[in-house]
Structure 1
Amino acid sequence: MAGQDLVPRQVPPPDLLASRFAGPPAVMPAVSGDAGDGDDVGPLVRRLLDLLDTLAPVEAALARGCLPRCDSTFGAGLALFLAATAGGCRDWIGADAADELSDLDGGLLIDECERALAARFQPVEGRVWRLSRVPLLDGDGGLLCAVGIEDGPSDRVTLVLQARPQRLGPVQLMATLGGRRLDVTLRLAACLPSSALADLHETFSAALADCRIDGALTVGPLADAWLGLDRPLSSDLAL
């Protein structure tokens, strides 16, 4: 069912996604005032992979395998992509493949992808968020991944994902992890059938039990729920 595509069958270990965004660097980069930074990451990455496929099909296949998609592998795919791109676009596709692509245009396309994939920092309502644009294997809009940065020492991590799956429309998932508790709020523009909603809760509860952590899943409407992290999705969804 469509609702099952949004929650992975297994919740990643508590530090798997958070470790990629463990905290702010010693020197905070300048905050961008343009909410559209990185909007072209999807087309750029598709262009890069198409070119790479003609030069090094094996490397292209491996790179595509790192991209998350809106199905039951979403959580693992996102964790894999964030880990693979920790060193930038060149590390993601590999040094040999990067050299082959650079021979075509002197590295201009890779440099563009580096900039599009780079995280930026943005304050929202007095809190700083680290934002990344993540291309999706099966979607044109891509994924906005935001991690809230806590003031002072804290084991609390808040992750927000915003995307526009074709079957469901705009979707926001907010997950807050503190100690051994994971609370997730899922907001959708579309209404889920009761059977899909029941499947979501059952899958979420089973995943928490497997990981031996506590938590709760809340599913609700999208209106007026979005953080100011992205451009407006429609005229009636003010961020």
Structure 2
Amino acid sequence: MAGRDLVPRHVPPPSLLAAHFASPPSAATHAPAGGPADGDEAPPLVRRLLDLLDSLSPADAVLARGCLPRCDSTFGAALALFLAATAGGCRGWVGADAAARLADLDGGLLIDECDRALASRFQPVDGRLWRLSRVPLLDSDDGLLCAVGIEDGLSDRVTLVLQARPQRLGPVQLMATLAGRRLDVTLRLAMGLPSAALADLHETFSTALADCRIDGALTVGPLADAWLGLDQPLSSDLAL
């Protein structure tokens, strides 16, 4: 996938990406009644939007699909660009012209639905508040669930949880905690990794920590007993 194909024509400034995750929860940022369920509908809603966009403007549809991250080597760059664009909602992602044409078809109902589905929401789990958002993935029906732990303002700890069900890997969960100069990462998989791939993963992680001059540890294990209370359960029974 060429790098230029990943770049939407209407991407807000990078500062919006930070604001998307850094702003404290408030009444204005909470989802409306029934909001938590809206977040679970993001992937099918985005598919509906893309189908409509295909019939309305094939060129805009190609651009929008090119900005959807997938679980391959383009994942990091595409995810960053997608989050930067969707900080402004669906309209910021597909662009003002395509959004206006979509809104004309049904009075804006579909694109408003997408805006709500892509918006961050807040959920308490295990005594902590988490900011949740869901990113549609091209190769996962459920998309990528991103959860950031909201601390009390006195801690320097930041915890990020990512959950997805890639078609080729099955359920995957990654939890990363940064506290000061230490980064601890736990990767849980439904499928085991070959010993060579596991060794390479540990070596790459250690090299990255050394380059950043921070300490930390990488743990890789099965999905059983994983911390999965943020979303529809990624069942350990299913994983095993």
For Structure 1 versus Structure 2, the TM-score category normalised by the shorter chain is 0.7 to 0.9
The residue type equivalent to 1:21 in the other structure is F
Q: Offset of 1:112 from its aligned partner?
A: 1.2
Residue type at the aligned position of 1:116: A
Partner of 1:20: 20
CA distances 1:157-178 after superposition (whole Å, capped 9, x unpaired): 2110111112221110011123
CA, structure 1 residues 35+98, in 2 after alignment: closer, same or farther (shift >3 Å)? closer
Unaligned 5+ segments in structure 2 are 1-14
The residue correspondences of 1:124-139 to structure 2 (distance < 5 A) are 124-139=125-140
**For 2:107 and 2:34, how far apart are their aligned partners in 1?**
30
Task: Give the aligned partner of residue 38 of structure 1.
Answer: 39
Residues 42, 26 of structure 1: alpha-carbon distance in 2 compared, 3 angstrom cutoff: closer
Secondary structure at the aligned position of 1:142 is classed as strand
RMSD: 2.8
Deviations 1:77-109 (A, max 9, x none): 222211111111111111101011112111111
* Whole-Å separation in 1 of the counterparts to 2:236 and 2:140: 22
Q: Percent identity?
A: 82
Which residue does the alignment assign to 2:67?
66
- The C-alpha deviation readout for 1:120-141, integer Å capped at 9, x for no partner, is 1100011000111111012212
Q: Distance in 2 between matches of 1:30 and 1:140?
A: 23
Structure 1 residue aligned with 2:176: 175
> Do structure 1's residue 102 and structure 2's residue 113 form an aligned pair?
no
User: Per-residue deviation at 1:117?
Assistant: 1.0
SS at match of 1:128: strand
SS of equivalent to 1:133? strand
Contact 2:130 2:147 in 1 (8 A): yes
Higher relative contact order (CA 8 A, sep 6+): 1
Aligned residues between the structures: 224
CA contact (8 A) 1:31 1:121 kept: no
TM-score (norm 2): 0.81
**Distance in 1 (alpha carbons) for counterparts of 2:214 and 2:221:** 23
Following superposition, the deviation at residue 42 of structure 1 comes to: 1.0
The answer to whether the 8 Å contact 1:44/1:112 transfers is yes
Contact 1:133 1:142 in 2 (8 A): yes
Amino acid at match of 2:30: P
Rounded Cα–Cα distance in structure 1 between residues aligned with 2:17 and 2:156: 13
2:229 aligned partner: 228
What displacement does 1:180 show?
3.9
Instruction: Pick closer, same or farther for the CA change 1:75–1:130 going to 2, 3 Å.
Output: same
Superposition map of 1:1-239 within 5 A: 20-27=20-27, 29=30, 36-234=37-235, 236=237
TM-score w.r.t. length of structure 1: 0.82
CA contact (8 A) 2:120 2:133 kept: yes
Give 5+ residue unaligned stretches, structure 1.
1-14
